[in-house]
Structure 1
Amino acid sequence: MVDTNTTSTPSSSAASRTVLLLLRVLTFVFLLIALILVAIDKETVESSIGEIEIKFKDIHAYRYMISTIVIGFAYNLLQLALSIFPVVSGNRVLTGNGGYMFDFFGDKIISYFLLSGSAAGFGASEDMHRLFKAQDLPLNSFFEKGNASAGLLLIGFLFTAIASIFTSFALPKKA
């Protein structure tokens, strides 16, 4: 008699591998656009004390947002490489339970990290917009670009979170 309550092999259908690869590509695209958008964000305004140039690096929350984008981008590049190989060859690079655990926990950690960067960007944009508006300094396009970048980062979070759901399906099933 065969005991079916022990360990089953992780599911790794071609369809789920392809969907996971698509999610990683979409995350890559949204993080790249978010990075470009916030990195080029600067504006010069006239004030009573003279000309003021504000850049993303002048706002700490935007610098945090960029760091989350860069770290998420690096992780996503690694996962893209690890996802392309199984789709092409049918074999995983990281074999055994450790590879599935790395995918699952990596996706979980990075997705929440991306979410925190997005929240920081949205919060800073709103707070700074109100502050500069009270000073009669028109920086609408600067903060709109920051909001757009935070929105794209939020979409990157969503794709990574969905990818973590797919990687959870591949975890070994224990009785």
Structure 2
Amino acid sequence: MDSSSKPSSSTVSRTALVLLRLLTFVFLLIALILIAIDKQSDDAGNQIKFTDAYAYRYMISTIVIGFAYNLLQMGLSIFSMVSGNRALNGDGGYLFDFFGDKIISYLLLSGSAAGFGFTIDLRRGDSSINSFTEKANASASLLLFGFLFTAIASTFTSFALPKKP
């Protein structure tokens, strides 16, 4: 087989990055929808929703920040694939991709951990809100997947970092 028909490693990396960012986008979107619509009435008739808990507010904040960053990176990645040029040229663009992916991935992980932790605490206190906590737990799980895909993307962006002697 002719070696010139093989895609270059940079094309494969760009394609993998777009796929990872697309998967992150989908998981964060579903996580956002799940936590935003999550509400339930307790035994006294009071309605419980995500805004009642600081941990869930933090979780939704990390989802929104990760979602916005991922949307920006998806746009930049698609632009790069279509035009063949990077929108952010030079070392600064590669550093932005790498450190941005690192910071956002850790932020997503902390949001997921906050959601999981608070859900466990809620379940201990009141078993009548299981429907509420199951949706919150599902959202935290999807956020964890968003972290994993962003962390993998940061590995790909590390390969593109300029090599300094």
TM range (shorter): over 0.9
> Which secondary structure state, in structure 2, belongs to the residue aligned with residue 54 of structure 1?
strand
1:12 CA displacement: 6.7
How many percent identity over aligned positions?
73
Structure 1: runs of 5 or more not aligned: 1-10
CA contact (8 A) 1:43 1:139 kept: yes
1:68 CA displacement: 0.2
Match of 2:39 among 38, 42, 55: 42
> Which secondary structure state, in structure 1, belongs to the residue aligned with residue 86 of structure 2?
coil
> Which secondary structure state, in structure 2, belongs to the residue aligned with residue 13 of structure 1?
helix
Distance in 2, matches of 1:36 and 1:115, equals 18
**Quick check: 1:85 aligned with 2:79?**
yes
Matches within 5 A, 1:80-159: 80-133=74-127, 138-159=128-149
Where relative contact order (Cα < 8 A, 6+ residues apart) is larger, the structure is 1
Distance in 2, matches of 1:166 and 1:45, equals 46
Higher helix share: 2
State the Cα deviation string for residues 99-128 of structure 1 (Å, max 9, x = none): 000000000000000000000000000001
Aligned residues: 158
Between Structure 1 and Structure 2, whose CA radius of gyration is higher? 1
Letter in 2 for 1:106: G
Q: What value does the CA root-mean-square deviation take over the aligned residues? A: 1.1
> Which secondary structure state, in structure 1, belongs to the residue aligned with residue 41 of structure 2?
strand
Distance in 2, matches of 1:31 and 1:19, equals 18
> Which secondary structure state, in structure 2, belongs to the residue aligned with residue 31 of structure 1?
helix
CA contact (8 A) 1:30 1:152 kept: yes
TM-score by length of 1: 0.88
- Name segments (4+ residues, structure 1) moved above 2 Å: none
1:53 CA displacement: 1.1
